[in-house]
Structure 1
Amino acid sequence: MQPIWLLIEKNAPYIMLVLSLLALILGLSQVILFRRFREVSRRYRLLMRGPSGADLEEILQRYAVDVKNLEALGQEIKQQQGILQEKLAQCVHNPGLIRFNAFDNMGSDLSFSVALLDRRGDGVVLTGLYGRDETRIYAKPIRKGTSNYSLTEEEAQAVQKTLEKA
């Protein structure tokens, strides 16, 4: 044990110098780490505070509420869209018009048949027969593209033309 103490006593100034330098390096690293911690802490407080003064937790809670509201609104819009699609299917689409001569002595195709059907093929076919002294209009109901009444060739063409467009 004696030789170690003799070695320490003999080299004490050098050992003190090395230990002093080590303490100085540790002290400087402590100051640098403290400054970096303070900067990170400042940035963390800014992040948590948010731009409008609210902290990050409040901002996230508001966004969560907004997302829930948007999801509810999306569901409501989807329901309304379904209702509108159902109503649209009941509207008249692409009426089919056929013009023809009802009588041999008439010209210019003044008689007509027009089919007014929805997308399901339900509606009415109107036929107007033009004569020199009078014009008559007839209506026949159509269900799923057919009628309980007999259809003329022109009426059937008008119905077919409408169904092809749909």
Structure 2
Amino acid sequence: MGDWLLEPAGIAIILVAAVILLLMIWIGVLSSKVKKLRKSYMATMGETGITNMEDVVIELRKQIEDNRLYSNQLHQRLAEVEAKLPAMKSMVGVVRYNAFSDHGSDLSFSIALLSPKQDGVVFSGLHGRDSTYVYAKPVTDGESSYPLTPEERKAIQEAK
């Protein structure tokens, strides 16, 4: 019964079977590698619909250049805003008071509008029984070239 293994045909059958087994193992290994490559390819290409890697690289370079130009525009706009910011009157102080103690309530006011450099203006509205007067005084470095009332000084302090 084991004599056929010693014959040349039997040896050939065993060798062919061994080669087939090795080829099947090799096909399994290659199939696994192809599956990993396909996963990597899909992760890289995504849902772009582009099948040529060169086209993907060209498209990515174009997007990078577009983003660089947009970033430069944003930096330029930011520099413009930063240059204008110190001159903006963003600090506000409000004081309400009774300008005439004989009647009324706190209907008079002083409003200071200042920049971070303490430049700007202070408005005062004096409300009387028959009329209201509004005054404006320029402010430089927290002071004015015109005499300031205590309420105007307080509004400037609140704005600081």
Over residues 5-63 of structure 1, what are the superposed CA-to-partner deviations in whole Å (9 max), with x where a residue is unaligned?
Answer: xxxxxxxx737444642243124433663686588669868949x55243122212212
Question: What residue number does 1:91 align with?
Answer: 88
**Alignment partner of 1:153 is 2:127:** no
Question: What residue number does 2:23 align with?
Answer: 30
Query: Deviation of residue 124 (structure 1)?
Result: 0.5
TM-score using structure 1 length: 0.68
TM-score using structure 2 length: 0.70
Q: Distance in 2 between matches of 1:45 and 1:110?
A: 78
Over residues 59-116 of structure 1, what are the superposed CA-to-partner deviations in whole Å (9 max), with x where a residue is unaligned?
Answer: 1221232123213212322321332344454333353221222233233123221112
Q: Distance in 1 between matches of 2:14 and 2:36?
A: 33
Alignment length, in residue pairs? 152
Question: What residue number does 1:14 align with?
Answer: 6
Question: What residue number does 1:9 align with?
Answer: none
Q: Distance in 2 between matches of 1:53 and 1:128?
A: 70
CA contact (8 A) 2:91 2:116 kept: no
Q: Distance in 1 between matches of 2:77 and 2:68?
A: 14
CA contact (8 A) 2:99 2:126 kept: yes
Residue identity matched to 2:120: G
**Alignment partner of 1:125 is 2:118:** no
Question: What residue number does 2:52 align with?
Answer: 55
Please, which runs of 5 or more residues in structure 1 have no aligned partner? 1-12
Q: Distance in 2 between matches of 1:117 and 1:130?
A: 24
Task: Tell me whether 15-24 or 120-129 shows the greater mean CA deviation.
Answer: 15-24
Q: Distance in 1 between matches of 2:53 and 2:25?
A: 28
Residue identity matched to 1:22: L
Bigger radius of gyration among the two: 1
CA contact (8 A) 2:86 2:115 kept: yes
Question: What residue number does 2:102 align with?
Answer: 105
CA contact (8 A) 2:111 2:152 kept: yes
What is the root-mean-square deviation in Å for CA atoms of aligned residues? 3.5
Percent identity of paired positions between Structure 1 and Structure 2: 31
